[in-house]
Amino acid sequence: MRAPLLIAVAILVLGGLLSLVLPEYYLRLLNLSAISAVAVIGLNFAFGYAGLISLGHAAFVGMGAYGLAILTTTCGWSPWLAAPAAVAATAVLAALIGFPLLRLRGHYLALATLGLNVSFYIVTSNWISLTGGTNGIARIPGLAIGAFDFSGEHQFLWLVLVVLAAVAVIAAMLHASRHGREMMAVRDDEIASEMIGIDTTRVKITAFVLSAICAAIAGCLFALHVRFVAPEDFTYAHSITYLAMLIVGGEGTIIGAILGAILLTFLPEWLRFLGTAYLFFFGLLMLVILVFLPTGLVGLGQRLRRPRKRVSPAPVAAPEATS
C-alpha cells in the first residue's frame, strides 16, 4: 500500500507546484495531459497488463464525454449525476462489446477495435438529433460546489489531479493483486494460463471493462474542461495517440503512462516553432524513442539508476621459473 500512496502524493505535490509557476496556457496543457493520463492508465489495463491490443480507446473516451454532454444539456441532469451515469453506461457497453470482440487475438483484435472507433465516429457524426452531428454539443455546464466552481484552469487542475491520483492508486493496487497477476499471466501465455485454471475470458473482459471505465472518466473530465464535444475529438487517430503515449512512457507501468501522456501533449507545442515541419520532427523523435528505448522512458530511468558492474582485470600469471 505504500507505493500507491507515494504515487498519489507525488502527483498532487508536483501538480500543485507546477500550478504555481506555469502560465495559463501551459496550465491548460497540463490539464489536458492529466486527462490523457487517466485514459492512458486505463489503456494500460488492457494493453500493458492483459496484452489486448486496442485501437478503439478513443471511442470509450467519447462515450463518456457524449454521455455526460447529452445528460446535462438535453436531459438537464447535474454533472455530478451525469458523470457516474455516463461511466456506468460505458462500462456496460464495453462488457457487451467485449464478449464477442475478445474472442479475437493479435492484429485481428486490433482491427476490430479500430472498426469500433470508426463506427463511433460515424454514429456521432450522423445522429444529429442526439449528438448534434459534426457541430457537436456546446454549453456543457461545469462542476461547482456551492459558490465554488471549477471553471478556471487552476481550480480544474486540482480536480483532475485528485482523479488521476485515485486512478493511479487503484491501478497500482490492482497490479500487485491476484487479479493483476492473472492479467499478466494471460498476457504472457494465454494457453498456459488456461491450463493452470485461470478463466482467461473473465480476465480479458475485466481488463477491457476497467480500461473503458478509465477512458469514460477521462471523457467526462474532457467534456467538463472544454465544455464542448465533437466527433473530431475521438477519432481513431486519438486512439493511436493514446497507444503511443503508453508505449513511449513504458507499457505496464503507471509512471510510464503518466510520463507518456505529458510528453506527447507538450511536445507538439514545444515543436510548434518549426511550423508545418514540426510533424516530421515529431514523428522522427517518436521513431527514435521506440527504436532505442523499447521499454519507454521508465526503462531509461531504470537503466540510468542501475549501477554499472566494475570489471576487475584478469590476474596476470606469474612467470615460470627457469632452471
Determine the pLDDT at residue 302.
66
Give the burial string for 1-14 (b: 16+ CB within 10 Å, else e): eeebeebbeebeee
Global pTM? 0.90
Determine the pLDDT at residue 323.
43
Per DSSP, 149 falls in state E
Mean pLDDT per 10-residue section of the chain, whose length is 323 residues? 78 87 90 96 93 93 97 94 96 94 89 95 95 94 83 90 94 91 92 91 95 97 95 94 91 90 89 80 80 80 62 54 48
Distance from the Cα of residue 55 to its chain's centroid? 12
Within 10 A of 281 (CB to CB), how many other CB atoms are there? 12
Determine the pLDDT at residue 105.
86
CB 298 within 8 A of CB 284: no
- Residues 137, 12: Cα–Cα separation, whole Å: 32
Phi, psi of 228 (to 5 degrees): -160, 135
CB 211 within 8 A of CB 45: yes
> How far, CA to CA in Å, does 323 sit from each of 317, 320?
18, 10
In the structure grid, which three cell numbers stand for residue 112, read together? 476490430
The size of the chain, in residues, is 323
Determine the pLDDT at residue 229.
96
CB 161 within 8 A of CB 34: yes
Residue given cell 456496460 in the structure block: 92
Determine the pLDDT at residue 208.
96
Domain map (residue ranges) of the chain: 2-234
Determine the pLDDT at residue 31.
95
Phi, psi of 321 (to 5 degrees): -75, 135
- Residues 85, 72: Cα–Cα separation, whole Å: 11
Residue among 42, 46, 27 at smallest CA distance from 257: 42
Dihedral class, residue 231 (left if φ above 0, else alpha if ψ from -120 to 50, else beta): alpha
Phi, psi of 137 (to 5 degrees): -120, 125
Determine the pLDDT at residue 318.
53
> How far, CA to CA in Å, does 9 sit from each of 4, 157, 173, 298, 310?
9, 15, 15, 19, 36
Rg of the chain over all Cα atoms, to the nearest angstrom: 23
In the structure grid, which three cell numbers stand for residue 181, read together? 497477476
- Residues 37, 15: Cα–Cα separation, whole Å: 13
User: Residue 149 forms beta bridges with which residues?
Assistant: 144
What is the number of alpha carbons within 13 Å of residue 257 lying toward its C-beta? 32
Amino acid occupying residue 218? A
- Residues 111, 30: Cα–Cα separation, whole Å: 32
Determine the pLDDT at residue 317.
53
CB 246 within 8 A of CB 50: no
In the structure grid, which three cell numbers stand for residue 275, read together? 511550423
